[in-house]
Structure 1
Amino acid sequence: MNPIRILLFAGGSLGPWALRQIRPDDWLVGVDRGALYLVQQGYSPKLAIGDFDSVSLAEKEEIERHSQLVSSCDPVMKDLTDTEMALAWALEQHPAEIVLLGALGSRFDHTLANVHLLRKALKAGVPCKIVDETNEIHLTSSTLKVSRDHFSHLSLLPLTAEVTGITLDGFQYPLDNATLTIGDTLGISNVLTAETGTISVRSGQLLVIKSKD
């Protein structure tokens, strides 16, 4: 495994909060308009990738001048979203972790598709999360430890039809060998009571969503 961490800046909602996620040794990948955001903030992405249909010709040239590598594709003749292409590249690097920023926004179809991309990272065995200003989203099919931080709530939602053997330790509302099926809201708005909580799953894939108002 490559010890580096890769941050993907997609074209959804971005702001100063996203820049605060950057560590000195991180690899930065700009996805379409996310690449423009990075270069305009003074960063040189290791890779800028996408069809760049959301930037002007002048902005694309600016991206090309300030990115270490550019991978451009036709905006029509492609089968994957820009973010999925970026994630595929990131997974090929076998990093220690991938963080998706700008993956949530006003386009609910893209937001939901990006949440589903967590399944690809899970299958590849690479820790991956989606982060924005008020949310942090993980996907687990085994055991996940979470720490108390600035997020006030933690919710559980099945991404597969059924998730079984859900056990929570360190939470206000514990579960012991519980089952959640799609459509259940039992796992919404839990609260950590310990400094560290543990979420265990026997089968299925469970979204773990930390959030604040």
Structure 2
Amino acid sequence: MPQQLQRAAIVTGGSLGPWAAGLLRADDYLIGADAGALFLVRSGIRPDLSLGDFDSVQEAERAEIEAGSAELASFDPIDKDYTDTELALRRALDLNPASILIVGALGSRFDHSLANVHLLRLAADRGIETAIEDETNRIRLLRGGRSMPVERSRFPHVSLLPLSETTAGINLDGFRYPLREAELRIGQSLGISNALDGERGTVSLREGWLLVIESIG
């Protein structure tokens, strides 16, 4: 039986910088989405796959991406149903990795940023641990009936926001402000800016969908 891929990493075309390359690992299966692929190639990193409609790059830049990638998949900018980031995520899910990292999913286009956060649901439905990470945030999604470890890291703040109308049975262990069988509704800010007490904590959820957002202050 072939060994399971440990992680697929997607670099898409939101806010990127020198920090982004530091989030990647040598053993990642690396997917560059549109301008994210150009960022990788120009950073001296060869994507295993570059894909998208490439409407955010010039023709010469697209040729640069093709030359610097192991594989290229091009899509018509009109005749496609998904954003480039969703196309990349669906390709990553087909690989059935143990986890997925998405870099460059946040930026100045709030509609794209919010849509990319919603894409975490696709991976959660498949049971694949997925995180969106940038220079100052890491965002994960917890589904009802499960728990999520949170370890001390470069992100001191931990916030909880519901991604369903209600979330019920929220329990926090190892946090400065613990919760027991708590409920959060959309439109509340109760879950903002918690912190770990020690090196590790746990968020558990009985019902609903909960965003776990770690941030730098």
TM-score range, shorter chain: over 0.9
The aligned counterpart of 1:153 is: 157
Please state whether the residue corresponding to 1:193 is helix, strand or coil: coil
The aligned counterpart of 1:96 is: 98
Structure 1 residue 40 corresponds to structure 2 residue 52: no
Q: How does 1:167-186 map to 2 (within 5 A)?
A: 167-186=171-190
Q: Structure 1: how far apart are the matches of 2:179 and 2:36?
A: 39
Structure 1 residue 166 corresponds to structure 2 residue 138: no
Letter in 2 for 1:174: P
TM-score, L = length of structure 1: 0.98
Please state whether the residue corresponding to 1:130 is helix, strand or coil: strand
Structure 1 residue 193 corresponds to structure 2 residue 197: yes
The ranges of structure 1 where at least 4 consecutive aligned residues each deviate by more than 3 angstroms after the TM superposition are none
Structure 1 residue 206 corresponds to structure 2 residue 200: no
Once the two structures are superposed, residues 64-99 of structure 1 have per-residue CA deviations (whole angstroms, 9 ceiling, x without a partner) of 111111111111111100000000000000001100
Q: Structure 2: how far apart are the matches of 1:35 and 1:138?
A: 23
The aligned counterpart of 2:11 is: 9
Q: Structure 2: how far apart are the matches of 1:211 and 1:189?
A: 9
Residue 4 of structure 1 and its aligned partner are, at CA, apart by: 2.5
Letter in 2 for 1:28: L
Residue 3 of structure 1 and its aligned partner are, at CA, apart by: 3.0
Q: Structure 2: how far apart are the matches of 1:106 and 1:201?
A: 31
Q: Structure 2: how far apart are the matches of 1:138 and 1:146?
A: 10
TM-score, L = length of structure 2: 0.96
What's the C-alpha RMSD, in Å, of the aligned pairs? 0.9
Residue 2 of structure 1 and its aligned partner are, at CA, apart by: 2.0
Q: Structure 1: how far apart are the matches of 2:167 and 2:4?
A: 31
The aligned counterpart of 1:118 is: 120
Equivalent pair of 2:5/2:95 in contact (CA under 8 Å): no
Q: Structure 2: how far apart are the matches of 1:188 and 1:25?
A: 35
1:59 aligned residue (61, 64, 68): 61
Equivalent pair of 2:37/2:50 in contact (CA under 8 Å): yes
Stretches of structure 1 that go unaligned for 5 or more consecutive residues are none
Stretches of structure 2 that go unaligned for 5 or more consecutive residues are none
Q: Structure 1: how far apart are the matches of 2:49 and 2:201?
A: 36
Please state whether the residue corresponding to 1:22 is helix, strand or coil: coil
Q: Structure 1: how far apart are the matches of 2:98 and 2:47?
A: 18
The alignment covers a number of residue pairs equal to: 213
The aligned counterpart of 1:74 is: 76
Q: Structure 2: how far apart are the matches of 1:24 and 1:101?
A: 15
Letter in 2 for 1:195: E
| Paired-residue identity, % | 54
1:130 aligned residue (125, 129, 132): 132
Once the two structures are superposed, residues 92-125 of structure 1 have per-residue CA deviations (whole angstroms, 9 ceiling, x without a partner) of 0000110000000000000000000000000001
